[in-house]
Amino acid sequence: MAYRLLPDEDLGEGVARIAAEELDSAIGELRDNLAEDPVNAIHSARKSLKKERALLRLVREAVYPDVYRDENEVFRDAGRRLSGTRDAQVALQTLDKLREHLAGRLPAATFDALEDALRSRTPRTGEGSAVRAVASAVAGDLEAARDRLLRWTGHAISWKQIERGLDRTYKRGRAALADVEADPDDEHLHEWRKRAKDLWYHQRVLHPLWPEIMEAQADRLDQLGELLGDDQDLANLRRLLTTDHSLTSTVADDLDPVVELIDLRRAQLTDEALRLGRRVYAESPKAYRERHQSYYRARGRPDGVPGHDTDVETGAVSARRRLQPGTGSVT
């Protein structure tokens, strides 16, 4: 199913379903799809882990602090262990984008030589035992997390708890934007991207509140995340070109002009991101919170659909019944 609550779904049940689906998806990619398409399998598994962490942040107020800390750490570490298998591939894709956006600024031969050097360092992902071992170990950790899923999803969740998570995410994104406006260094830009991604995921989860509005907001956040993601990829490529002498020594051409082009493109991306980000975060936190609260209340009906916080015990029992840990599915 889509990464969103359903129109007729209890909040607790919906969170349990989404959490189970994303974990099952990540496990399936690493167990079943790695051999056929390793690059896509690892990429898809990492995306599911990011969505899982964002969902956990959204319902943080409903989770015991130690449970939140432990499960967040598991998902974070799993994503990090998988990231190394894609670094070289991302560097190649980033170079291709740079060549496309700034065509004619440098001789094609310079880009070709750099591409050859990067490609020679790209592992045959999924062919080596090391990659398979990492994927298998991570899948095992996620299966254990799947068995523990009721620790943070097997209970009723109120709108107030969701609202506090959404409010926290929006405030952190606004603060990160202010930091970038004051000093657009790599650390601040990276932090802003993470916070914008969280808000994007949260808008997607809450899509039924008002589908047209929530989807439009999610689309703008997706655009913002893409701009900041492209900037981060360029920052990583720049770091590689300026610090990895084993790479640069294989390229005969002077790479300083490439670094200058990276800086030019990053400046363009940052300007675009700031223009869009100021609109995304234009509301005060209070106005943002109250607007989404009004959407939620407007949808409330006394029949158990999202927007109504009665019968919470029934919702908790139902969530436990639907989510069967260790089975790999939601019944």
pLDDT at 42 over 70: yes
User: What is d(CA 253, CA 130) in angstroms, rounded to the nearest whole number?
Assistant: 33
pLDDT of residue 307: 44
| Burial track 95-114 (b if 16+ CB lie within 10 A, e otherwise) | beebbeebeebbeeebbebb
Cβ pair 313, 156 in contact under 8 A: yes
pLDDT of residue 239: 92
User: What is d(CA 252, CA 314) in angstroms, rounded to the nearest whole number?
Assistant: 69
pLDDT of residue 302: 37
Taking only the tens place, the pLDDT of each residue in 110-139 is 888 888 888 876 655 445 678 889 999 999
Taking only the tens place, the pLDDT of each residue in 154-167 is 989 999 999 999 99
User: What is d(CA 296, CA 201) in angstroms, rounded to the nearest whole number?
Assistant: 17
pLDDT at 313 over 50: no
pLDDT of residue 330: 41
User: What is d(CA 249, CA 212) in angstroms, rounded to the nearest whole number?
Assistant: 53
Percent of all residues in the chain with a pLDDT value above 90, rounded to a whole number: 67
Please compute the mean of the pLDDT values over residues 19-44 and round it to a whole number: 94
For 127, residues 6+ apart whose C-beta sits below 8 A from its C-beta are 38
pLDDT of residue 89: 79
Percent of all residues in the chain with a pLDDT value above 70, rounded to a whole number: 86
**Quick one: CA torsion of 221, 222, 227, 228, rounded to 10 degrees?**
70
Rg (CA), the chain: 22
pLDDT at 309 over 70: no
For 282, residues 6+ apart whose C-beta sits below 8 A from its C-beta are none
pLDDT of residue 135: 94
Nearest Cα residue to 63 out of 158, 202, 130, 137: 158
Nearest Cα residue to 184 out of 274, 94, 105, 98: 274
pLDDT of residue 149: 96
Between helix 38-58 and helix 11-28 the angle, nearest 10°, is 160
pLDDT of residue 319: 45
Q: Any idea what DSSP says for residue 34?
A: T
99-107: list long-range contacts, CB under 8 Å, 24+ apart: 101/265, 102/261, 102/264, 102/265, 105/257, 105/261, 106/257, 106/258, 106/261, 107/253
Phi, psi for residue 330 in degrees, rounded to 5: -105, 125
- Which is higher by pLDDT, 110 or 236? 236
Taking only the tens place, the pLDDT of each residue in 88-99 is 778 889 999 998
For 60, residues 6+ apart whose C-beta sits below 8 A from its C-beta are 68, 164, 165, 168
Predicted structure pTM score: 0.86
Taking only the tens place, the pLDDT of each residue in 245-262 is 777 777 766 788 889 999
Which of these ranges, 18-27, 127-136, 162-171, 307-316, has the smallest mean pLDDT? Answer: 307-316
User: What is d(CA 49, CA 29) in angstroms, rounded to the nearest whole number?
Assistant: 12
- pLDDT, mean over the chain: 87
Q: Any idea what DSSP says for residue 300?
A: -
| C-alpha distances out from residue 133 to 139, 178, 189, 223, Å | 10, 42, 33, 35
pLDDT at 268 over 80: yes
Which of these ranges, 54-58, 165-169, 297-301, has the smallest mean pLDDT? Answer: 297-301
User: What is d(CA 237, CA 90) in angstroms, rounded to the nearest whole number?
Assistant: 9
Taking only the tens place, the pLDDT of each residue in 178-226 is 999 999 999 999 999 999 999 999 999 999 999 999 999 999 999 999 9
